Each structure stands twice: as C-alpha cells, then as structure tokens.
Amino acid sequence: MLNALKVRWAQGYQTVDHIRQVELNQRFRGLPVIESRACPEDCQACVEVCPSQAIQLSPVRIDLGKCIFCPDCSKVCPAEKIHFTPDYHLSCNEREGLVVGSQTQHPAVKTEERIKQIFGRSLKLRSVSAGGCNGCEMELNALANVNFDMGRFGIEFTASPRHADGLVLTGPISENMAPALQATFDAIPSPKIVIAVGACGISGGVFAASPALDRRFLEKIPVDLYIPGCPPHPLTFLNGLLDLLGKKYS
C-alpha cells in the first residue's frame, strides 16, 4: 500500500487543464500548411504518392477528410510546398471546410444553438466501430482516462444506444457493420447528433474504393461534426465537440 501511494505521488497531477493551449510535440502531424509558391511544371508527385487520393491540384489542396497524415506528400514535393504542423484543431461541421489550401481558412466548428440548448449541459455518446482498425477507437478510449477526463465536461460514452444522445462513427463502414450501424442509430432517441471520426469514418480513407464497404448510411443521415485524423488526437475530438456544444472552458 505504501509503495502504491509513493507511485501515485510520483505521478503527480496529470489531467490536461488548458485543452485549448496544449502544445504537442513538433513531430505530431496535424494541420498541413500549403505554401503559395508555384509547383514545378507538370509535377504531380504529391498526387501520385498519396495513398488516399486526398490531394487535388490547380491549386494544391488537401482534403483532411481523406488525409491519413502520412508525410509522403511533403517528402516528395520538389518545391517543398507542403508542411505538417502540430496544430490539432482540425474539426469542422461542414464537409467542405475540411479541404485546405494556401488561400483557405482554418477549419472551424460553428456552435449550433439547437445542439447547445439541448446537449450543452450533458451529452451521452454511443460509439460504433464500423470496420475500423481500432486506432480511432483507442484514441476515443483515451478520452476517459485521467489525462483528458472528458467526463468533467459532462460528456461520456454510454454502453446502450437507448441512453445515448448521439452516435460516434469510426471505421469505413463495412457491409457487415452497416446494418448494426443503422440499428444503433435507430435505437438512439431523438433528437440526436452524428459525429464522424477519422479518415475512414468521414470518407472511407484508404479503403474508400473497396467493394466490401456499404456507406449508404452517410448518404441518408447528415453528420453534425467531422473530426479528421488517422487516428485523430483526443484533443482534436475534445476541442471540436466542445466548440459544437458552445461550452466555455479554459
């Protein structure tokens, strides 16, 4: 018992207080920055190397909803136009807002008064891994640990969709998981929100062209919040969700 107390004392206070101002390690790949300088003539190196077809040319743009944040595009660019920064504020509640270029604005989440009024004080979420690799799911699990402690903001994951206010989707939605995803959504009482997490959840990611996917769910159901990444950092999820709810925090 004494040794356990010594270890706990040595660990100190680990909860991240100022989730807006946290500075991540410079090696973390977050928001890409695209320089305005011109590309070499007929160069398509970044497009050809991108494994998820996230890059468009004329002008160069990156779709964060498809990007898996590998550094391949920045490595092959002869003009050094693309750099990844440790900025983890990537969430957006409009799909088009995830496309970034040299002249586009930073992705942002607009607080929706309807959602703020209904869920601003308490939000229960049901997570569905629709064929995911467990990368996003592990980061979602981290939201409940002592570091991020999502529960202090009144947001928690629940075991039953009957007790949930919203659906968190991860994974590219395989054919086998599509009925389960729809059944979970139907079981959540209205009003409810939908959050798409990770490149796979938003666009299918590197599996987008697979015939084993069934993404018709997203053709029928609108998404309230997109959280890009592969996987997204817990701070990306937390900041995006708090912005959507209009919660004040330091």
Q: What is the pLDDT of residues 115-160, one digit of tens each?
A: 989 998 899 999 999 999 999 999 999 999 989 999 999 999 999 9
Distance in angstroms (rounded) separating the CA atoms of residues 193 and 198? 17
Distance in angstroms (rounded) separating the CA atoms of residues 162 and 193? 14
Q: In which element (H, E) is residue 138 found?
A: helix 135-142
pLDDT on residue 13: 78
SS3 180: helix
Segment 209-245, tens digit of pLDDT: 999 999 999 999 999 999 999 999 999 999 999 999 9
Can you read off the two tokens belonging to residue 83? 């750099």
pTM: 0.92
Task: Find the DSSP H helices in 130-223.
Answer: 135-142, 178-187, 198-203, 216-220
Q: In which element (H, E) is residue 84 found?
A: strand 82-84
Average of per-residue pLDDT across 12-40: 88
Confidence grade of residue 164 (pLDDT, cut at 50, 70, 90): very high
Can you read off the two tokens belonging to residue 197? 């997490």
Distance in angstroms (rounded) separating the CA atoms of residues 97 and 111? 15
